[in-house]
């Protein structure tokens, strides 16, 4: 028996899932591509896959669905998949229930233009607001002044909703190491991220130190998603000043923002990105045998890649690889390099009594050849 962590290929955004040994499931983000319903790929049909996984394990709900922030690639088509409690039209037997919804405060406070009223981020805003008003099935991360104002406007007090709110630096009460062999320490968002601006979704995104217990060991997973170096710098300095340095350690590190250099520094660098000193500290906090996971397309080391504006950035990859070697870490996995591009598969880590391994079946070359039509022979 083991805890499992699944990273879905980048076609499914930053979707990842934790399946605890006790069967509980925590889903981070959701991006489903419509065309996969017509069996057009190569992306995974996420709806089918998750539904089947739940069915196979005799479950009809996720214990937690956490939206790290409300960018489209983190919530796409999710309102067609999950049961939403705030309106009847989002409810039927085929929809998947969410026992507890985790959202950053910014998702409650989203504002929208008239054109955006039917956008999914607004639907989730409605759902989060509904659950918060109901006082159950939700956890909100951070309580900026604007959240306090919103509560007041809706006839509620912070005090009455305190048990549903977790601030940076606190451990989420829903899971414990004793009961579930896991705990979630919230690194972000900070209050200032939410209060400072409306356009700063990435800065207000969820970041956790997820600590697993298995056998005699504890393992730390730094779950970051989309973020930038300044947020990571804040995390390092605040965590240190609060004497929580152990929360910076990692055995598994989800490389932010599809391996963008912006999570390391504001300078991409010619050959390799040089991380800012505080980010470097974070990178050096990796444990012996640790893994880095980049949810991104494959990253080539050529001139075209060096000039590429959109992530993934080869310079950033080199930087991460450098620090991984320094830490005597194991591997940097790029999700789209782990399986064939035409048939992407999730990368799955297992944590058992002996440590972390990557779950993969060994496939013979013969199997790969005979699984596809052979090229034409003359």
Partner 1 sequence: MKNYINFGSSVSGNYELIEPVRILYNACRNHPDFKVLAIRSKCDTIEVDCCNDQVPSRNSVGIKNRERLALIYNKDNTYPYEVRALRKDFPVTLHQNHVPDGEPASLCIYFEPWTAIERTWTPQLFLQRILWWLKETAGDTLHREDQPLEQLYFKSPIELVLPVDFEEKLQKRNQTFQIYYSTKPKKDLIILRGDFFQQNQRDKHISEEIKFECIAISPSPVLHAPISKFPKTLGELNDQFVERGSEIYNALKEEIKRGISSDGIESPSGNMGTLLILNAKVKRDKDAIPEKKEIKGFFINGKTCANLGEACGVLSKIPDGRYYKVKIIGRNTDLIDSWKEIIIEPIEIVSPLNRQSAQILSKTDEKTSNFKGVLAGVGALGSALADIWSKEAWGQWTYIDDDYLKPHNIVRHIARDKNIGQRKTDTVSAYTSGNFHPGYINSNAIFGKANDFINCKIDSALKSSKLFIDATTTLEVPRDIAVSNFAVRAASVFITPSGKSSVLLLEDKDRTIRLDSLEAQYYRAMINSTWGKNHLSGHQGQIWVGTGCRNASMIIAQDLILLHAATLARQTRFLQSYFDAAIRIYEVVEDNGAMNSYDIPVHEVKNCRIGNWEIVWDEVIYNKIALLRRENLPNETGGLIVGFTDQKQNRIYIVDILEAPIDSESSPTSFIRGINGANVELNKIADKTANVVEYIGEWHSHPRNSSAIPSNYDLSLLKYLSDNLFKEGKPGLIVIAGEDELSICINGRG
Nearer to partner 1, 76 or 251 (CB): 251
CB of 368: closest distance to partner 1 in angstroms?
Answer: 14
How many residues comprise the chain? 378
Nearer to partner 1, 260 or 347 (CB): 347
Residue in 184, 142, 182, 192 with CA at minimum distance from that of residue 162: 142
CB of 289: closest distance to partner 1 in angstroms?
Answer: 4
Under rule CB under 8 A, residue 354 binds partner 1: yes
Cα–Cα distances (Å) from 365 to 105, 272, 344, 371, in that order, read 49, 35, 17, 10
Q: Give Cα 252 distance to the centre of its chain.
A: 12
Cis, bond preceding 189 (omega within 30 deg of 0): yes
Nearer to partner 1, 7 or 190 (CB): 7
| CA–CA distance, 173 with 139 (Å, rounded to integer) | 10
Q: Which of residues 219-238 bind partner 1 (CB under 8 A)?
A: 219
Please list the alpha-helical segments (H only) found in 84-198.
Answer: 105-108, 120-134, 145-153, 158-161, 177-180, 191-195
Tell me the helix, strand and coil percentages in the chain, rounded to 5.
35, 25, 40
User: Could you identify the residue written with the tokens 């509904």?
Assistant: 130
Sole binder of partner 1 in the list 82, 141, 291, 323 (CB under 8 A):
291
Under rule CB under 8 A, residue 23 binds partner 1: no
CB of 261: closest distance to partner 1 in angstroms?
Answer: 23
Nearer to partner 1, 56 or 153 (CB): 56
Interface map 196-215 toward partner 1 (x if CB under 8 A): -------------------x
Nearer to partner 1, 83 or 348 (CB): 348
| CA–CA distance, 93 with 206 (Å, rounded to integer) | 30
What does the block give as tokens for 306?
A: 């060096």
| CA–CA distance, 271 with 227 (Å, rounded to integer) | 22
Sole binder of partner 1 in the list 216, 309, 366, 374 (CB under 8 A):
216
Cα–Cα distances (Å) from 156 to 29, 173, 233, in that order, read 28, 22, 34
CB of 365: closest distance to partner 1 in angstroms?
Answer: 9
Sole binder of partner 1 in the list 85, 109, 290, 314 (CB under 8 A):
290
CB of 321: closest distance to partner 1 in angstroms?
Answer: 10
CB of 245: closest distance to partner 1 in angstroms?
Answer: 20
Under rule CB under 8 A, residue 352 binds partner 1: yes
| CA–CA distance, 288 with 251 (Å, rounded to integer) | 8
Sole binder of partner 1 in the list 34, 35, 360, 372 (CB under 8 A):
360
C-alpha dihedral (127, 132, 101, 180), degrees to nearest 10: -170
CB of 49: closest distance to partner 1 in angstroms?
Answer: 22
Cα–Cα distances (Å) from 121 to 44, 72, 274, 293, in that order, read 22, 8, 35, 27
Beta bridge partners, 357, equal: 350
Nearer to partner 1, 109 or 333 (CB): 333
The DSSP annotation for 73-115 comes to: HHHTTGGGTB--TT-GGG--TTSBEEEEEEEEHHHHS----GG
Sole binder of partner 1 in the list 71, 76, 174, 251 (CB under 8 A):
251
| CA–CA distance, 39 with 34 (Å, rounded to integer) | 9
Q: How many residues at the interface with partner 1, by CB under 8 A?
A: 23
Interface map 310-349 toward partner 1 (x if CB under 8 A): ---------------x--xxxx-x----------------
CB of 177: closest distance to partner 1 in angstroms?
Answer: 12
CB of 4: closest distance to partner 1 in angstroms?
Answer: 14
Sole binder of partner 1 in the list 88, 93, 270, 288 (CB under 8 A):
288
- From 60-68, 170-178, 224-232, 281-289, give the range in contact with partner 1 by CB under 8 A: 281-289
Site for partner 1, rule CB under 8 A? 215-217, 219, 251, 287-291, 325, 328-331, 333, 352, 354-358, 360
């Amino acid at each position: 028996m083991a805890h499992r962590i699944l990273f879905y290929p980048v076609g499914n955004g930053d979707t990842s899932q934790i399946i605890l040994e006790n069967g509980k499931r925590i889903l981070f983000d959701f991006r489903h591509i419509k065309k996969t319903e017509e069996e057009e790929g190569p992306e995974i049909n996420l709806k089918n896959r998750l539904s089947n996984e739940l069915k196979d394990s005799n479950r009809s709900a996720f214990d937690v669905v956490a939206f790290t922030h409300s960018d489209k690639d983190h919530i796409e088509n999710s309102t067609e998949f999950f049961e939403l409690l705030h309106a009847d039209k989002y409810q039927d037997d085929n929809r998947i229930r969410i026992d507890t919804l985790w959202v950053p405060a910014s998702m409650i406070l989203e504002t929208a233009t008239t054109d955006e009223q039917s956008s999914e981020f607004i639907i989730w805003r409605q759902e989060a607001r509904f659950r918060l008003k109901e006082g159950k099935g939700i956890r909100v991360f951070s309580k900026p002044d604007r959240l306090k104002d919103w509560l007041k406007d809706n006839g509620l007090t912070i005090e009455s909703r305190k048990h549903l709110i977790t601030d940076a630096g606190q451990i989420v009460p829903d899971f414990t190491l004793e009961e579930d062999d896991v705990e979630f320490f919230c690194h972000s968002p900070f209050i200032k991220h939410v209060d400072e601006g409306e356009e700063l979704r990435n800065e207000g995104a969820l970041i956790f130190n997820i600590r697993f217990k298995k056998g005699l060991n504890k393992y730390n997973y730094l779950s970051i998603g989309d973020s930038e170096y300044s947020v990571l710098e804040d995390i390092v300095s605040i965590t240190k000043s609060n004497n929580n340095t152990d929360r910076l350690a990692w055995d598994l590190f989800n490389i932010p923002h599809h391996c963008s250099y912006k999570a390391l520094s504001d300078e991409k660098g010619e050959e390799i990105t040089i991380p800012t000193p505080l980010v470097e500290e974070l990178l050096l906090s990796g444990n012996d045998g640790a893994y880095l996971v980049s949810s991104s397309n494959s990253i080539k080391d050529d001139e075209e890649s060096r000039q590429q504006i959109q992530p993934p950035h080869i310079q950033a990859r080199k930087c991460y690889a450098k620090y991984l070697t320094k830490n005597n870490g194991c591997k940097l996995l790029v999700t789209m390099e782990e399986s064939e591009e035409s048939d992407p598969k999730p990368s799955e880590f297992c944590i058992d009594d002996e440590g972390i391994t990557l779950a993969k079946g060994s496939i013979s070359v013969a199997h790969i050849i005979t699984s596809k039509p052979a090229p034409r022979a003359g």
